Structure 1
Amino acid sequence: MVPEVSEHQVLGASDFASFLENCTYPYYYGENESSSCCDYQPCPQDFSLNFDRAFLPVLYSLLFLLGLLGNGAVAAVLLSQRAALCSTDTFLLHLAVADALLVLTLPLWAVDAAVQWVFGSGLCKVAGALFNINFYAGALLLACISFDRYLSIVHATQLYRRGPRARVTLTCIVVWGLCLLFALPDFIFLSARHDKRLNATHCQYNFPPVGRTALRGLQLVAGFLLPLLVMAYCYARILAVLLVSRGQRRLRAMRLVVVVVVAFALCWTPYHLVVLVDTLMDLGSLARNCGRESHVDVAKSITSGMGYMHCCLNPLLYAFVGVKFREHMWILLMRLGCPVQRRLQRQPSSSRRDSSWSETTEASYVGL
């Protein structure tokens, strides 16, 4: 889901009058030039355009710094324990890499929102594809973690117990392959295009509205609904089993992964609801008017920022909720010579091959 230039961003008064007089440009971003431009009259929504220019560069820059530092720390902690990584830790390592790669593209989109796209069509395709690959990867990897926990606890099946490295590696290869497949439209249809209405160049899709609707449908199903349904089902069954067994320690061990899933739902649900409303307006199912367009454009900017914030939220959750993660982080800082040695000497460290974020060593049940 490449950060979208608002489809209804608009012009000054003279440009708007010229547009209505000549009717030479398509109404939607990314439409073919042969599209009829007079089917709709564009709304002069200077507020949403100015809001994006002021809001998005600051937000993207902040998320870039926090996401890179946080996910870099997670990757460093997990790699420091790579000889003892369980399947969940391996998925978490890939998740941290996906989040870090996603936030690496945000400075480019910040420049695009503040000024225009100045990096050419080649980088437009790469940045858009990289963004979407890691957007899908984050959701699918969380689904993989939940399914692995479901098999382990509900059915007492350790999918990755025998030949764990090969099976985990194969699963991750499949996930990244699917994400690359989902990002093919970015390689094909994204390009740096000069928009005469805005007198600026932006990284945009070059296909008709039906293509944009289909791509949004793919993002909604493959990048949100399907992973969320898998996570919700798996953890509902897991919690039911743990509650019946009254395993309080195991319930505490599940706390972090449940919090991560809830954070995913809270961060991305508002954005997809807003995009659904915008899509229904494009399809004519909802009446289009200038006030509604302006509200939807601003809502997309705010809710997309909430979604991208999820990339920075996971490391904070690990640090504040995951006891084992904090312990391994202190150990890593001590090895790097940071002034935390005395505190670490008073903290017990586990030598067992359990996960870097677990609150229990009952790996046969939780493995977190």
Structure 2
Amino acid sequence: MDPPRSPIDNSTDIVNSNAGTNMGALILSLVFLLGFPGNLFIIWSVLARARRHSVTTLLILNLAIADGSLMGLTPFFVVYLIMKKWVFGRAMCKILFYLCLVNMYASIQLIMLMSIYRLVAVLWPQRVSIITGRKTVLRVLAVLWVVVMVASIPAIIFRDVKNGKNGTNVCEPAHNHPSDVVLQYMLELVIGFLIPYVVIVVSYICILRRLRQTKFRRRIRSEKLILAIVLTFCLFWLPYHLINMVQVTWALYPEKGPAKKILKKIWQHSRAVTSAIAFISSCANPVLYFFAGKSYIRREGLAFMARLFEGTGLDSATRKSRQHSQNSRDKDKDADAVMLKDKDRDSVANSNSNSKPVKNGK
């Protein structure tokens, strides 16, 4: 007996679109070949080659773990698109899409933490070590992973194996009501895009304003690197969220008609391609790191990635700022000591001059 169809016809039909299927499979194959070994190399560089694990290094490590895990799932989806049917069972259908959402949430939340850390380092450089201590950062990272795991539960609830129009099993959304569509995709939009990007934009606006107000206007290499990561994530995930909004609009459309059919056609034929494009963001970061660390390659060899993370960023800038402040304080102390010595010499000279008449009187 065939499994019951959902009360709303929300079949994506991605495996029935030859153009979308072939393009999606090609993109995912290239993404896997480039992104999976690239992120593994980043993880190895941080764990085996980095001399110290700063805040930036820990965030980069977790971002590489999230991206690498997402890259590791791509072969399943390549097989799905090529075979045009789901052969991995109902449990894997739910688990794989759940893990995809977890790593998507984790990636953007980690990028948001990078922006917040830079904001704190620029505005309060003397207190950044207290606010962002190693134990505090590890706790924040643990909480972040727990939150994204909980927020991704709808991917398990609203995903199931169904009997497609061509008689084969497909792993597709299982929405029983239009409100399910709104809940799932609006949650993805708010948690995975709107909130983190508002925080990121506000953080960089505050950073730029502060840098313009100070005499310290030297460009920090990691600022460009992190900004490139932010823009790359936005570029590749924006089409995915736009298609989600098209599907939400379709689900909320009051009555059947030409407009509703057009909306459905748009998200049905675009889902496979936009989802595959979203995966590109996870393989783009190793490429960005490579170009950012070109100056380290000849000197450091395979350790160039670790030296890039150690030698750039506001970690070093903040450390230099604190060192400069400490040196200033040390200079002040030395000056005070010199002044005290001068005073002591003056007092000794005065006492000697005052004692000479008494000695002559004897």
TM-score range, shorter chain: 0.7 to 0.9
CA distance in 2, matches of 1:281, 1:259: 34
> Once the two structures are superposed, what CA deviation does each residue of 1:101-150 show, in whole Å capped at 9, x if it has no partner?
01111111122222211011122222111111101000101111111111
- 1:249 alignment partner, SS class: coil
1:264 corresponds to which letter in structure 2? Answer: F
SS in 2 for 1:267: helix
Matched with 2:284 is 313
Alignment partner of 1:234 out of 203, 206, 212: 203
User: Partners of 2:15 and 2:76 in 1: how far apart?
Assistant: 23
Counterpart in 2 of 1:205? 173
Q: Pairwise mapping of residues 182-193 of structure 1 onto structure 2 (< 5 A)?
A: 182-193=151-162
Q: Which amino acid aligns with 1:311?
A: S
* Contact in 1 for aligned 2:14/2:271 (Cα 8 Å): no
* Map of 1:283 onto structure 2: 252
Letter in 1 for 2:286: P
SS in 2 for 1:288: helix
Please report how far the alpha carbon of residue 36 of structure 1 lies from its aligned counterpart in structure 2 after TM superposition. Answer: 6.7
Question: Of 120, 123, 139, which residue of structure 2 is paired with 1:154?
Answer: 123
Number of the residue aligned with 2:108: 139
Q: 2:162·2:171 contact (CA, 8 Å) conserved in 1?
A: yes
User: 1:127 aligns to what?
Assistant: 96
Q: Which amino acid aligns with 1:101?
A: S
State the alpha-carbon separation in 1 of the partners of residues 230 and 296 from structure 2. Answer: 23
Letter in 1 for 2:186: G
Q: Residues 160 and 203 (structure 1 numbering): CA distance in 2 closer, same or farther, change over 3 Å?
A: farther
Partner of 2:188: 219
Partner of 2:59: 91
What letter corresponds to residue 68 of structure 1 in structure 2? Answer: F
- Aligned equivalents of 2:98 and 2:189: distance in 1? 17
The one of 355, 361, 364 equivalent to 2:310 is 355
Match of residue 111 from structure 1: 79
Structure-2-length-normalised TM-score: 0.76
Closer/same/farther in 2, CA of residues 205 and 365 from structure 1, 3 Å limit: farther
Which residue does 1:3 correspond to in 2? Answer: none
Structure 1 gaps of 5+ residues are 1-23, 335-343
**Residue type of the partner of 2:77?**
W
Q: In 1, are the aligned partners of 2:105 and 2:191 still within 8 Å (CA)?
A: yes
Shift of 1:74: 1.4
Instruction: Encode CA deviations 1:242-261: one digit per residue, 9 max, x unaligned.
Output: 23324343444411111111
Task: Tell me how far 1:167 sits from its aligned partner.
Answer: 1.1
Corresponding letter in the other structure for 1:64: F
Note the alpha carbon deviations across 1:213-255, whole angstroms, 9 max, x for none.
Answer: 2010110000111111111111111122123324343444411
Show the 5 A alignment for 1:239-250.
239-250=208-219
Rate the CA distance shift 1:47–1:186 in 2: closer, same or farther, 3 A: closer
Q: C-alpha displacement at 1:294, in angstroms? A: 3.3
Contact 2:105–2:148 (CA under 8 A) maintained in structure 1: yes
Task: Measure how far apart 1:301 and its partner are.
Answer: 3.2
Q: Would the alpha carbon gap of residues 328 and 80 (structure 1) be closer, same or farther in structure 2, given more than 3 Å must change?
A: farther
Once residues 156 and 4 of structure 2 are traced to their aligned partners in structure 1, the CA distance between those partners, rounded to angstroms, is 25
CA contact (8 A) 1:271 1:304 kept: yes
Q: Which letter does structure 1 place at the counterpart of 2:292?
A: V
Comparing 245-254 with 273-282, greater Cα deviation is found at 245-254
Cα 1:136/1:329, change in 2 over 3 Å? farther
Matches of 1:129 and 1:75, distance apart in 2: 23
Kindly provide the CA deviation profile for residues 328-361 of structure 1, in whole angstroms up to 9, marking residues without a partner as x: 7963527xxxxxxxxx9xxxx97xx973544994
Q: Are the equivalent residues in 2 in contact too, given 1:152–1:365 (CA < 8 A)?
A: no
Q: How do 1:248-267 and structure 2 match up within 5 A?
A: 248-267=217-236
| Whole-angstrom CA distance in 2 between matches of 1:366 and 1:292 | 55
Amino acid at match of 1:76: W
Corresponding residue for residue 338 of structure 1: none
Q: Is the 8 A contact 2:39 2:286 kept in 1?
A: yes
Larger Rg: 2
Matching residue of 1:65: 33
Equivalent residue letter for 1:242: L
CA distance in 1, matches of 2:197, 2:252: 26
Q: Secondary structure at the match of 2:66?
A: helix
Q: Which has the higher helix share?
A: 2
Are the counterparts in 1 of residues 119 and 207 from structure 2 also a CA contact under 8 Å?
A: yes
1:297 aligns with 2:268: yes
Pair 1:55 & 2:23 matched: yes
Per-residue CA deviations over 1:57-91 (Å, capped at 9, x if unaligned) read 11111111211011112112211344411111101
CA contact (8 A) 1:250 1:360 kept: no
TM-score (norm. length: structure 1)? 0.75
Report if the CA contact (8 A) 1:78-1:356 is conserved.
no
Q: Which moved more, 1:80-89 or 1:176-185?
A: 80-89
Kept after mapping to 2: 8 A contact 1:194/1:201: yes
Identity %: 24
Once residues 77 and 318 of structure 2 are traced to their aligned partners in structure 1, the CA distance between those partners, rounded to angstroms, is 42
1:173, distance to aligned residue in structure 2 (A): 0.5
Task: Determine which structure has greater relative contact order: mean sequence separation of CA pairs < 8 Å that are 6+ residues apart, divided by chain length.
Answer: 2
Cα separation, 2, equivalents of 1:226 and 1:329: 40
The one-letter code sitting in structure 2 at the alignment partner of 1:121 is R
Which residue in the other structure is 1:80 paired with?
Answer: 48
